[in-house]
Amino acid sequence: MANNDQFIETFREEALELLEKLENYLLELEQNPSDRETLSAVFRVMHTIKGSAAMFGLERISEFSHEVESILAALRDGKLKLTSELINHTLIARDIIKEMIDSGEPKGGALPPDMVQFLDNFRAVVGFDEEEKAVEIVQKKRPQEDTRPERTWYIRFNPDKDIFLRGTNPFAIVNELAGLGEVTCIPDVDRVPALSAFDPANCMTELNLFITTKADENELRDVFIFVQDFAKISIECLPELPDEEAYTPRKLGEILVSRGMIDSDKVARAVSTQKRLGEILVDEKLVSKTHLKVALEEQKLVQRVQKNKQLAADMSTIRVKSEKLDQLMALVGELVTIHARILQTTKLYNENDEVLSVIEQFGRLTDELRSNTMSIRMVPIGTTFSSFKRLVRDLSAELGKNVNLVTEGGETELDKTVIEKLGDPLVHIIRNSLDHGIELPEVRAERKKPVEGTISLSASQTGASVHIVIEDDGNGLDVEAIRKKALSKGIIKPEDELTEQETFALIFAPGFSTKETVSSVSGRGVGMDVVNRQMELIGGTVSIESKPRQYTRILLKIPLTLAIIDGLLVRIGEDFFVIPLSVVVGCLEYTHEEGKPEKGIVIFHDRQLPFINMHDYFGLRSPRQKIEQMVVVSIKNVQIGVLVDQVVGGNQTVIKPLGKLFRRADGVSSATILGDGSVALILDVEQIVNAAEKIEG
């Protein structure tokens, strides 16, 4: 029984993953209804869920999925039209399956009445013929499974013009070829004369065929065996792609040249015009439209094969629970700390060079283990981005707005722990953009904006942090409205003078909302407060830019990982601190002259930089040294000096959270354990820089 539960848990994990993909495929299909590949992917996901559920005895899920699959099969076969109602009902069906999986739906028994009613409505809305319901989807199978790899072939079939008189139908040959694999046919009709000179007894069409199959060249030639004497036939296998992900498929010009359709000099001249190559070549009649279609189809097939290879590679993975990764990261962190302690202890007792060599090797292995463990925890943020497409689609329909979500940088990777904590802040920001930011279509029309509003979501890596930007082209923030609301809520006083940035920051205050009425979307003043608190928890920052009636741009700056960072160990008084190495620009000596007032300025690379004395910042009473060390740091493209007593050197810093009592301590973000077992605080450099700017101002 335990084993069965384990199998069902495996099914549950895989099914939830498939359902997430299904939602993305459906939203893509809604944007590109003619994309046959996405339509096939939708059908395959539903087919897989149905089959897997049946295999594990989950009859209700299997039966429900089968009914939906039948409708999708009719859509794939061209018997149904793709409509918004079909997309809507398939999305609801996806939600019902997810609910059944999450709730532990009983294995057996008939479908409950509400599900039966939903399926009946689904069929009625999309016009699914009841007779189609009884048709089972059957795939032809060979007597023995063919284990040969699939390859893609390019076939040029040019029949003689009198082939019809011999009683041969070229398209019957194409149908026979289709029995060996997936075929794409591009007819070349350039030789077909005008209607006045047209003779229906003459075949004037050449066929360009691409087939992806396990068959070899001899099997393909056998299809043409009865017409080979009165037709020109060439069969060419497209080159197999290398396994490297960085492989770049051949460009359009390279394909046309290799086919002998144009010479390389003409392609080079066309490329130099900085216009789309295909359009130029056709406009100048250097290649025919058919030749261009053939080359584009080859490009498309190569990209599809590469994508399938990548999917196959992704399938060769092991599913590991996130808790195990957390435990592994914690152990690696302890190992890094132990290595530091061994190294420091060894130096104290002046051990021989051989022992130091072994410890250094141990350190290199620890570094490599740390890097590998961190890379295992890194996952692309694109999955999180994709989940918001459904949110924007449903919420914009509810609000009567036309909104498009544009995403960029989905391949950017973040620690899985950070990504888990990002979900809620991004949901609240996007909901706010939809409700407060994007205007109604009629308002946008009055303002001479496109009726369709745009929310863009992008991610990029900068050093040891990731920048996530959420921008909408809507109302923008009204500084006066924010200030009035903050005054009425008692968040600020009438005499308070705030900069624009400080006014924008008021929207993060608990209970703050510029909406007068509470709706199901916003108005309670909770959302942006959640954003602020969550950013504090993961050591991230939030900044806002906005222009009235133009845009609002919110930047989230987030650390790549919450586990281990490279740091610079410094001493201030009798205590040790760590500065994240990612913000360090350089170091220099600073001579303190007693009796002379400090100007708070230091010369670095022929530039005057302000600096902040950490003795004064932390209120330390220990005496200052005559020669001190200055660490130059950069935050938000602002450089500033941090004055310390001593720069000790590099340090692999295992981050430990501070207790609740110290969580809001100025100038520190977290702590770490040094090699001798003592605790060093990790400086919050951004907070220190902001304090220095206020002092300077």
Q: Give the pLDDT mean for 165-174.
A: 80
Give the pLDDT score at 209.
Answer: 86
| Percent with pLDDT over 90 in the chain | 4
Q: Give the pLDDT mean for 277-284.
A: 62
Statement to judge: residues 495 and 478 lie in one domain: yes
pLDDT confidence tier of residue 282, bands split at 50, 70 and 90:
low
**Is pLDDT at 247 greater than 50 in this prediction?**
no
Q: What's the CATH code of the domain at 280?
A: 3.30.70.260
102-111, 198-207, 506-515 — most confident range:
198-207
Structure tokens at 252: 């359009």
In a domain, 141, yes or no: no
Decide: residue 691, CB within 10 A, 0-12 exposed, 13-18 middle, 19+ buried.
middle
Question: Pick from 522, 544, 559: which residue ends a domain?
Answer: 559
Give the pLDDT score at 469.
Answer: 92
Q: Are 430 and 455 in contact (CB under 8 A)?
A: yes
Taken in order 240, 244, 249, 250, the sign of the CA dihedral is negative
Q: Where is pLDDT greater, at 697 or 251?
A: 251
Please tell me the total count of domains within the chain: 5
pLDDT confidence tier of residue 523, bands split at 50, 70 and 90:
very low
Give the pLDDT score at 315.
Answer: 47
Q: Are 565 and 579 in contact (CB under 8 A)?
A: no
**Is pLDDT at 524 greater than 50 in this prediction?**
no
Angle of CA points 138, 141, 144, to nearest 5°: 160
Within 13 Å and on the Cβ side, how many CA atoms surround 280? Answer: 15
**Is pLDDT at 517 greater than 60 in this prediction?**
no
**b/e 403-427 (16+ beta carbons within 10 angstroms → b):** bbbebebeebbbbbbbbebbeebbb
Q: 3-state DSSP call for residue 285?
A: coil
Q: Are 301 and 210 in contact (CB under 8 A)?
A: yes
**Is pLDDT at 552 greater than 80 in this prediction?**
yes
Give the pLDDT score at 513.
Answer: 66
Q: What's the CATH code of the domain at 341?
A: 1.10.287
**Is pLDDT at 361 greater than 70 in this prediction?**
yes
Give the pLDDT score at 456.
Answer: 92
Of residues 499, 529, 437, the one with CA closest to residue 474: 437
Give the pLDDT score at 135.
Answer: 45
pLDDT confidence tier of residue 389, bands split at 50, 70 and 90:
confident
Lowest mean pLDDT among 21-30, 215-224, 245-254, 603-612: 245-254
Structure tokens at 383: 């999955």
Give the pLDDT score at 437.
Answer: 87
**341 φ, ψ to 5°?**
-65, -40
Statement to judge: residues 411 and 531 lie in one domain: yes
Structure tokens at 167: 């009683």
Q: Are 407 and 457 in contact (CB under 8 A)?
A: yes
pLDDT confidence tier of residue 258, bands split at 50, 70 and 90:
low
Statement to judge: residues 116 and 192 lie in one domain: no
Q: Are 546 and 504 in contact (CB under 8 A)?
A: yes
**65 φ, ψ to 5°?**
-65, -35
Give the integer Cα–Cα distance in Å for 381 and 342: 38
In a domain, 139, yes or no: no
Statement to judge: residues 385 and 521 lie in one domain: yes
Give the pLDDT score at 668.
Answer: 83
Give the pLDDT score at 464.
Answer: 64
Q: Are 518 and 530 in contact (CB under 8 A)?
A: no
In a domain, 365, yes or no: yes
pLDDT confidence tier of residue 640, bands split at 50, 70 and 90:
confident
Structure tokens at 270: 């066309």
Q: 3-state DSSP call for residue 331?
A: helix
How far does CA 210 lie from the centroid of its chain? 32
**Is pLDDT at 243 greater than 50 in this prediction?**
no
Q: Are 184 and 301 in contact (CB under 8 A)?
A: yes
SS3 content of the chain, % helix, strand, coil (to 5): 45, 20, 30
**Is pLDDT at 131 greater than 60 in this prediction?**
no
Q: What's the CATH code of the domain at 42?
A: 1.20.120.160
In a domain, 145, yes or no: no
Give the pLDDT score at 472.
Answer: 92
Statement to judge: residues 395 and 362 lie in one domain: no
| Residue 42 amino acid letter | V
What's the predicted TM-score (pTM) here? Answer: 0.57
Statement to judge: residues 177 and 308 lie in one domain: yes
Q: Where is pLDDT greater, at 73 or 538?
A: 73
Lowest mean pLDDT among 5-14, 19-28, 170-179, 227-236: 5-14
**Is pLDDT at 136 greater than 50 in this prediction?**
no
Give the integer Cα–Cα distance in Å for 133 and 543: 55
Structure tokens at 503: 């006014």
Distances in Å between the Cα of 665 and the Cα atoms of 431, 514, 643, 662, 669 are: 32, 31, 19, 5, 8
Taken in order 609, 610, 613, 617, the sign of the CA dihedral is negative
Q: 3-state DSSP call for residue 491?
A: coil
- CB-based contacts of 119, cutoff 8 Å, min separation 6: 64, 67, 68, 111
pLDDT confidence tier of residue 477, bands split at 50, 70 and 90:
confident
Q: Where is pLDDT greater, at 1 or 426?
A: 426
pLDDT confidence tier of residue 683, bands split at 50, 70 and 90:
confident
Lowest mean pLDDT among 124-133, 184-193, 464-473, 659-668: 124-133
Mean pLDDT over the full length of the chain: 78
Q: What's the CATH code of the domain at 485?
A: 3.30.565.10
Domain encompassing residue 341: 322-378
Give the pLDDT score at 59.
Answer: 84
| Residue 216 amino acid letter | D
| Residue 496 amino acid letter | D
**Is pLDDT at 239 greater than 80 in this prediction?**
no
Give the pLDDT score at 92.
Answer: 92
In a domain, 175, yes or no: yes
**Is pLDDT at 1 greater than 50 in this prediction?**
no
Statement to judge: residues 604 and 548 lie in one domain: no
Within 277-321, residue ranges assigned H as helices are: 277-283, 289-315
Statement to judge: residues 307 and 251 lie in one domain: yes
Of residues 110, 119, 99, the one with CA closest to residue 59: 110
**Is pLDDT at 436 greater than 80 in this prediction?**
yes
- pLDDT tens profile 327-354: 888 888 788 878 877 877 777 776 677 8
Question: Pick from 314, 336, 355: which residue ends a domain?
Answer: 314
Statement to judge: residues 355 and 476 lie in one domain: no
Question: Pick from 559, 578, 600: which residue ends a domain?
Answer: 559
In a domain, 435, yes or no: yes
Q: Where is pLDDT greater, at 651 or 444?
A: 444
Q: Are 15 and 54 in contact (CB under 8 A)?
A: no
Q: Give the pLDDT mean for 52-63.
A: 82
Statement to judge: residues 614 and 633 lie in one domain: yes
In a domain, 155, yes or no: yes
Statement to judge: residues 600 and 537 lie in one domain: no
Statement to judge: residues 598 and 462 lie in one domain: no
Q: Give the pLDDT mean for 598-613.
A: 81
- pLDDT tens profile 86-126: 999 999 999 999 888 888 766 667 788 888 899 989 888 88
Q: Where is pLDDT greater, at 520 or 662?
A: 662
Give the pLDDT score at 470.
Answer: 92
| Dihedral angle over CA of 625, 630, 635, 639, nearest 10 | 120
In a domain, 611, yes or no: yes
pLDDT confidence tier of residue 455, bands split at 50, 70 and 90:
very high
Q: What's the CATH code of the domain at 671?
A: 2.30.30.40
